[in-house]
C-alpha cells in the first residue's frame, strides 16, 4: 500500500530532477551577464512580441491537425495489426519505423521529391504543384514521421481490449460499424489519446519541416527558440521560450487528459491473451479493402523515400553508382568523403549501433522499472509529467545537460542520458502496454516459490514479456538512432553517427553522397528492425 503510494512521487522527483535543471540552466545562463532587472526586461520583451504568440498559436494548430491525421490514418492499420495475423505483419511493423528514424532533412527532400513541383507526382500528372508549400506539406511530412508511433501505440491498446466484448456486442445484435464506434472507440480511447499526445508533442516542437512547408508565415515556437539561441545569442530569450513551450505543452496535455478522463473510461480487463484471428477469417471485400489500405500507406510512406533513393543513384541525369563509390572510400573532388564525415563508414555504423543500443537499453530498463512500479497506480498528473521530455526542445536539454554536467559525467554517458530522457515518454507508454501481459499473480507465484526479485526478472519477467520488451527496445533504439541534436551538442563533433555524417556531407554541399548514405542508413535500419522483430517472434513461437 505505502509502496504503491510512494512510487509515483519518488519517480517524479527523480524524473524532474533530471529534466528541469537543464532547462533552468539555459534559462538562468542569461541571468549571469545582466542584472535581475535587465533579465526580467528581456523576458518581458520576448513575451511582449506578437510573433511569440503567433508562433505559439500556429505550433498548437499544426500539431493538433498533424496528430489528428496521423492517428486517423493509423487506426485502420492498428485494427488490422491487432486483430489479424497475416503474412508481412512483422515487416510492416519494422518498415513503418524507417521514416521515423530519418533525419528531418531527408524526409523533407523525400516529400518534395514526390509531391513537390519537380516531384514525381507533378511529372506524372502534370501541372505546377505548389500545394505542399501551403501547409499541406507540414501535415504530410509529420504524418510520415509519426504514423509508426501512432500505429504501435494504438495497436498495443487494441490488443488489450478483451475480445469477448466483441462477442457480447454481437450477441446483443450490434453491427460491426456500430460496434467500432460505440464499443471499440471508447475502449481504445486511452490509447488514441496517448498516441495523439505523443504525436502532438513531436509536431509541437518540430522545426525544419514546419519552416520549409509553411514558410515564414507559419514559424513555430521551436523556430523562435533556435533564433534566440543561435542567431540572437540570447540565452534568456531562448530559455524563456523553452519554458513557455514546456508550460503550454504541460497545460495542453493535462487538459487533453482531463477532458478524456472525465468520461471515466475504466481499465480494460487485462491478463487475458489476445487471440489474433487468421487473415482469411476476414470477409473477401474487407480483405481487399485491407490490402488497399496497406498499399496506400506503403505508398504514402515509401514512395517519397524512393525518390531519395533514386536521386542517390542518379548523376548528371543518368543512373550511376558514383555517389556510393564516393561513400565507400571514395572522395568528392580532392576531399575524401571519410574526411568530410570525419569518420569512416564502418566506424559510423559501429558508433550508431553502439550508441543506440546503449541508450535503448538505458531507456527501456528505466521505463520498465517505472512502468512496473506504477502498474497499479498512475495518477494523471504523473502521466503528464512523464510525457514532458517531448516538449523540451532537444537543443535546450542537451545544452543544459552539457552545461550542467560536462566534465563531471563522461560525454558518452551524457549523450545516453539525454537520449534516454527524450525517448522515455514513448518507451514508457509502449512498455506500460506490454506489461499487461504479465499478471501480478505470476510474480507473486514466483515470490512464493522463493525467487528473489533479480532472479524473478530473468526467470519470469523477461521470458514472459520478451516480445514486448524487444518491441519496446526497438522503439527506443529507433528514437536514439534518429537523434542528432544531443550527439552533436554533447559529443563535440567527435562522435559521428549516421545523421551527423549526413549533416556534414550536406554541409559540404555533397547532397548526392549524403543521400547515398541515407540509403545505406535506410537499409541498415530496416534490417535491424526486421531482425529484432523476427527474433522476438521466433523466440515467442519457441514457447519462451
Partner 1 sequence: MTMRSRLSFLFLTIVFFMSLTGFGWARGVTEDFEAVEDRRVETNELVVYTYDSLAGTLRRLIESHFAEEYGVTVTLERIGDTGTLYTQTFLERDDPRADVVIGFDESFIPRLRRDRLFEAYEPSNIDLVRPELAVTDDWLVTPFDFGFITLNYDSEALSEPPASWDDLLDDRFRNSIIMLHPGTSSPGRNFLLASIAEFGEDGFVEFWEALSPNILTVTGGWSEGYGLYTQGEAPLVISYETSPAFHREFEQTNRYRSAIFDDRAYMQIEVAGIVRGARNRLNAERLIDFIVSEEFQREIPFTQFMYPIHPAVELPQSFLEGNVDVEGVRLDNDLIEENFSAWLEAWEDALR
Partner 2 sequence: MIELRGIRRDYGNFSLTADLQIDAHELLTLFGESGSGKTTILRLIAGFERPDSGQILVGGRAVTGLPPERREIGYVFQDYTLFPHLSVGKNIAYGLRVQKVPAEARVRRVRELLDLTELAGFEDRAVSTLSGGEQQRVALARALAPSPKALLLDEPFSAIDTERRGSLRRHLLNIQRTLQIPTVFVTHSRTEALYLSDRLVIMRDGAIVESGVPRDIYERPKTLYTARFTGSANTFTHEKLKRLPEHWLDGPVPTEGTGDQDAPIAVLRPEKFEFTGPGQSGPDGGCLEGQIRHVGYFGSYCLYIVETELGELDVQEEPGCSIGQTVRLCCPAGSIHLLG
Footprint of partner 2 on this chain (CB under 8 A)?
Answer: 162, 164-165, 167-176, 178-179, 182-183, 186-187, 189, 263-269
Report, in Å, the least distance between residue 262 CB and partner 2: 12
Among 248, 303, 404, 413, binds partner 1 (CB under 8 A): 404
The Cα-based distances of 306 to 48, 112, 117, 210, 417 in angstroms read: 45, 12, 17, 22, 34
Least distance from partner 1 to the Cβ atom of residue 336, Å: 9
Q: Which of 171, 231, 267, 448 binds partner 1 (CB under 8 A)?
A: 231
Of residues 2 and 267, the one with the C-beta less far from partner 1: 2
Beta carbons of 501 and 348 less than 8 angstroms apart = yes
Among 48, 171, 267, 334, binds partner 1 (CB under 8 A): 334
Binding residues for partner 1 restricted to 453-482, rule: CB under 8 A: none
C-alpha cell at position 44:
518581458
Which of partner 1, partner 2, none lies near 489, with the C-beta cut-off 5 to 8 A by kind? partner 1
489 binds partner 1 (CB under 8 A): yes
Q: Least distance in Å: CB of 167 to partner 2?
A: 5
Give 85's strand partners.
278
Full 3-state SS string of 216-254:
HHHCCHHHHHHHHHHHCCCHHHHHHHHHHHHHHHHHHHH
Cβ at position 425, least distance to partner 1 in Å: 19
Q: Which of 63, 80, 340, 386 binds partner 1 (CB under 8 A)?
A: 340
Return the residue of 44, 178, 232, 440 that touches partner 1, per CB under 8 A: 232
Phi, psi (deg, nearest 5) at residue 435: -60, -20
Q: Which is nearer to partner 1, 305 or 476 (CB)?
A: 305
350 to 389: interface string for partner 1, x by CB under 8 A: ----------------------------------------
244-248 own/partner pairs: CB under 8 Å, 24+ apart: 244/47, 244/52, 244/56, 245/59, 245/204, 245/205, 245/221, 245/391, 245/392, 245/393, 246/23, 246/388, 246/391, 246/392, 248/56, 248/60
**Listed ranges 87-95, 167-175, 218-226, 366-374: which one lies at the site for partner 1 (CB under 8 A):** 218-226
Q: How far is the CB of 266 from partner 2 (least distance, A)?
A: 4
154: CB partners within 8 A, 6+ apart: 71, 74, 75, 78, 82, 188, 191, 192, 195
* Residue nearer to partner 2 on the CB measure, 179 or 467: 179
Residue 448 — φ and ψ, nearest 5°? -70, -25
Where in 126-185 is the site for partner 1 (CB under 8 A)?
128, 130, 133
Q: Which of 109, 121, 154, 482 binds partner 1 (CB under 8 A)?
A: 109
Burial of 12 (0-12, 13-18, 19+ CB in 10 A): middle
Euclidean distance between CA atoms 352 and 501, whole angstroms: 11
Tell me the three state secondary structure of residue 71.
helix
Smallest separation, CB 273 to partner 2 (Å): 14
- Which grid cell is 283? 470477409
Give which of partner 2, partner 1, none residue 313 binds (C-beta under 5 to 8 Å, depending on kind): none
Closest-CA residue to 178 (of 168, 170, 188, 190): 170
Query: Could you tell me the smallest distance in angstroms from the CB atom of residue 176 to partner 2?
Result: 8
451 is in the binding site of which of partner 2, partner 1, none (Cβ under 5 to 8 A by kind)? none
> Is 152 or 311 the residue whose CB approaches partner 1 more closely?
311
Pick one of 300, 313, 511, 530: the residue that binds partner 1 (CB under 8 A): 511
What CA–CA distance (Å, rounded) separates 330 from 340?
11
- For partner 1, what does the binding mask look like between residues 16 and 45, x meaning CB under 8 A? xx--xxx-xx--xx-xxx------------
The Cα 162–Cα 157 span in angstroms is 11
Measured CA to CA, the distance from residue 5 to residue 378 in angstroms comes to 10
Q: List Cβ neighbours of 290 (8 Å cut-off, separation of 6 or more).
A: 76, 80, 84, 282
Considering only CA atoms, give the Rg of the chain: 24
2 binds partner 1 (CB under 8 A): yes
Of the candidate residues 77, 99, 113, 425, the single one contacting partner 1 (CB under 8 A): 113
Q: Contact between 311 and partner 1 (CB under 8 A)?
A: yes
Nearer to partner 2 by C-beta: 181 or 251? 181
Q: Taking CB under 8 A as the criterion, which residues in 247-266 touch partner 1?
A: none
Neighbours of 56 (CB within 10 A): 18
Stretch that binds partner 1, among 272-280, 330-338, 425-433, 517-525 (CB under 8 A): 330-338
- Cell digits of residue 378: 498512475
Interface with partner 1 (CB under 8 A), residue from 176, 215, 354, 453: 215
Amino acid at each position: 500500500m505505502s509502496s504503491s503510494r510512494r512510487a509515483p512521487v519518488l519517480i517524479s522527483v527523480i524524473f524532474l530532477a533530471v529534466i528541469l535543471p537543464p532547462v533552468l540552466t539555459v534559462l538562468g545562463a542569461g541571468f549571469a551577464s545582466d542584472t535581475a532587472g535587465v533579465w526580467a526586461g528581456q523576458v518581458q520583451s520576448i513575451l511582449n512580441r506578437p510573433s511569440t504568440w503567433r508562433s505559439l498559436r500556429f505550433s498548437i494548430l499544426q500539431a493538433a491537425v498533424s496528430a489528428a491525421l496521423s492517428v486517423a490514418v493509423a487506426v485502420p492499420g492498428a485494427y488490422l495489426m491487432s486483430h489479424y495475423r497475416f503474412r508481412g505483419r512483422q515487416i510492416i511493423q519494422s518498415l513503418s519505423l524507417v521514416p521515423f528514424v530519418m533525419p528531418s532533412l531527408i524526409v523533407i527532400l523525400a516529400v518534395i521529391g514526390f509531391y513537390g513541383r519537380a516531384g514525381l507526382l507533378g511529372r506524372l500528372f502534370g501541372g505546377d504543384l505548389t500545394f505542399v508549400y501551403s501547409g499541406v506539406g507540414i501535415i504530410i511530412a509529420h504524418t510520415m514521421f509519426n504514423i509508426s508511433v501512432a500505429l504501435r501505440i494504438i495497436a498495443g491498446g487494441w490488443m488489450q481490449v478483451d475480445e469477448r466484448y466483441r462477442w457480447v456486442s454481437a450477441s446483443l445484435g450490434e453491427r460491426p460499424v456500430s460496434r467500432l464506434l460505440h464499443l471499440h472507440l471508447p475502449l481504445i480511447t486511452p490509447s488514441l489519446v496517448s498516441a495523439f499526445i505523443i504525436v502532438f508533442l513531436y509536431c509541437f516542437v518540430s522545426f525544419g519541416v514546419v519552416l520549409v512547408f509553411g514558410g515564414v508565415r507559419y514559424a513555430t515556437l521551436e523556430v523562435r527558440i533556435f533564433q534566440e539561441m543561435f542567431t540572437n545569442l540570447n540565452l534568456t530569450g531562448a530559455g524563456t521560450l523553452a519554458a513557455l513551450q514546456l508550460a503550454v505543452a504541460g497545460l495542453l496535455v493535462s487538459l487533453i487528459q482531463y477532458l478524456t478522463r472525465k468520461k471515466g473510461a475504466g481499465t480494460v480487463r487485462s491478463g487475458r491473451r489476445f487471440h489474433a484471428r487468421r487473415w482469411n477469417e476476414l470477409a473477401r471485400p474487407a480483405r481487399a479493402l485491407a490490402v488497399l489500405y496497406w498499399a496506400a500507406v506503403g505508398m504514402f510512406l515509401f514512395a517519397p523515400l524512393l525518390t531519395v533513393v533514386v536521386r542517390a543513384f542518379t548523376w548528371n541525369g543518368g543512373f550511376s553508382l558514383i555517389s556510393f563509390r564516393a561513400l565507400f572510400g571514395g572522395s568528392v573532388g580532392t576531399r575524401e568523403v571519410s574526411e568530410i564525415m570525419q569518420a569512416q563508414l564502418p566506424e559510423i555504423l559501429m558508433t550508431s549501433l553502439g550508441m543506440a543500443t546503449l541508450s535503448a537499453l538505458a531507456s527501456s530498463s528505466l521505463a520498465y522499472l517505472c512502468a512496473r512500479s506504477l502498474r497499479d497506480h498512475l495518477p494523471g498528473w504523473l502521466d503528464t509529467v512523464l510525457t514532458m521530455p517531448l516538449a523540451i526542445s532537444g537543443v535546450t536539454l542537451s545544452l543544459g545537460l552539457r552545461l550542467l554536467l560536462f566534465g563531471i559525467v563522461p560525454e558518452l554517458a551524457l549523450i545516453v542520458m539525454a537520449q534516454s530522457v527524450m525517448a522515455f515518454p514513448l518507451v514508457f507508454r509502449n512498455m506500460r502496454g506490454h506489461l499487461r501481459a504479465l499478471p501480478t499473480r505470476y510474480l507473486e507465484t514466483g515470490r512464493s516459490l522463493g525467487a528473489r526479485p533479480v532472479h524473478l526478472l530473468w526467470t519470469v519477467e523477461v521470458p514472459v514479456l520478451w516480445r514486448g520488451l524487444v518491441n519496446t527496445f526497438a522503439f527506443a533504439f529507433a528514437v536514439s538512432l534518429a537523434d542528432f541534436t544531443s550527439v552533436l551538442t554533447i559529443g563535440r563533433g567527435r562522435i559521428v553517427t549516421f545523421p551527423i555524417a549526413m549533416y556534414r556531407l550536406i554541409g559540404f554541399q555533397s547532397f548526392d553522397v549524403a543521400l547515398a548514405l541515407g540509403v545505406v542508413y535506410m537499409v541498415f535500419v530496416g534490417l535491424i528492425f526486421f531482425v529484432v522483430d523476427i527474433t522476438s517472434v521466433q523466440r515467442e513461437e519457441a514457447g519462451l
